[in-house]
Amino acid sequence: MAPSATTTQTLKASELPKPASSFGQYKVIASYTLSEEKELGENGATYPHYLPTWSPEQKYPPLQPFEHVEHGKDADTSYPDLLPAGTKTTDLTPTIGTEVHGIQVSSLSKAGKDQLARFVAERKVVAFRDQDFADLPIQDALDFGAYYGRHHIHPSSGSPKDYPEIHLVHRGADDKTHETFFETRTSSVAWHSDVSYEAQPPGTTLLYILDRPETGGDTLFVNAVEAYNRLSPLFRERLHGLKAVHSGVEQAAAARARGSIVRREPVSHEHPIIRTHPATGEKAIYVNPQFTRYIVGLKKEESDALLKFLYDHLAYGADFQARVKWQPGTLVLWDNRVTQHSALVDWTSGQRRHLARITPQAERPFETPFEG
Ligand SMILES: O=C(O)CCC(=O)C(=O)O
Ligand SMILES: [Fe+2]
């Protein structure tokens, strides 16, 4: 008989293939060595003071509860200060995403900032073009963001020197990590809601571009309210009252395993799997495959199956998702309570991608009763 192309082989334990990491390398969760020559030299980063640093001296105690003030509640929903005459808005899709031209977010009045929180909660993600955020002193950008809540300091991501409140996304020029990443993974899509393991996860969240590839590196968003509304009333009713555990332990362990820093010891928290938005009253699915571990009270197989259904439902819902294309000067805000997002690593041009996130924390997730 002709030899089969595939033959059984016996492997020693040391030769066993390594399982793919559950943490995408596209997401900066651990330090790496920056190529100073590439990042600081000619054609280096446009905003070198925003290059990532990881300082082992940055050690913080556990986060304490604080009272969140939801400014979106106070907003005039005709948006006179946020979207005055002459502003151009274009919806990216019917249920999620709007692009805005013609206003400068950093100059908004208090009323305008309240309207911003509400508009973002309603539209889920909003891209403001031609913004000056990247050119402001970092402290001014942080002072603006502080209106929406206490700054979250990420346990392990890179931050600009002396500004641990800024979370950086950075892929340097000529970075080749995608080559190894796609040896073990078919796709870079990794849906998540940011740091949902915290007791009070972020709400109104800001992300602005510093450097970008000409094409590629878009960010995907999904509307978790619409995802909830698409479910049958019977199914929605069953989800109410359930809680899930979200854990930051594995992210911290991955950072440590890579020799990186952990600024604060990791935590886990239980959150309702359907949460209500404090300003809009909308209900959203609040479980995500990066940080949610299991549903409390279910057996493992039951919890795994239900979570997989919810993750797939969110991931397949291209008819309630939006894709943001970054342009120089783009500032994106999303409401992290009612959306999930994913970076995309789909460019191989070796062009730098560099973004800064400001991450105000919000209320402890709460649920209101099923309404049919
Ligand atoms: O790089 C991106 O597009 C988004 C990264 C991300 O998940 C974040 O900053 O929260
Ligand atoms: Fe994120």
Task: Express each pLDDT in 63-72 by its tens digit.
Answer: 999 999 999 9
User: For the chain, how many residues are written?
Assistant: 372
Q: Report pTM.
A: 0.94
- 10-residue mean pLDDT profile of the chain (372 residues): values are 71 67 42 80 94 95 98 97 98 98 98 98 99 98 98 97 97 85 93 98 98 97 99 98 98 92 97 98 98 98 98 98 98 99 94 97 98 92
**111 CA distance to ligand 1 centroid (A)?**
28
User: Can you tell me which atom of ligand 1 is nearest the CA of 359?
Assistant: 10
pLDDT tens column, 201-211: 999 999 999 99
**H/E run at residue 332:** strand 331-335
Q: Which residue lies with its CA nearest to atom 10 of ligand 1? A: 194
> Does ligand 1 come within 6 angstroms of the Cβ of 159?
no
Alpha carbon distance 349, 337 (integer Å): 34
- Picking from 19, 365, 34, the residue whose alpha carbon sits closest to that of residue 175 is 34
Q: Which residue lies with its CA nearest to atom 5 of ligand 1? A: 343
Which residues are bridge partners to 324 per DSSP?
A: 219
Q: Which residue lies with its CA nearest to atom 6 of ligand 1? A: 343
Residues 6+ apart with CB under 8 A from 79: 115, 118, 119
Terminal-to-terminal C-alpha distance of the chain: 65
> Does ligand 1 come within 6 angstroms of the Cβ of 357?
yes
> Does ligand 1 come within 6 angstroms of the Cβ of 343?
yes
The whole-number pLDDT of residue 20 equals: 45
Give the amino acid at 55.
S
**Which domains are delineated in the chain?**
71-358 (3.60.130.10)
DSSP string of 228-250? HHTS-HHHHHHHTT-EEEEE-HH
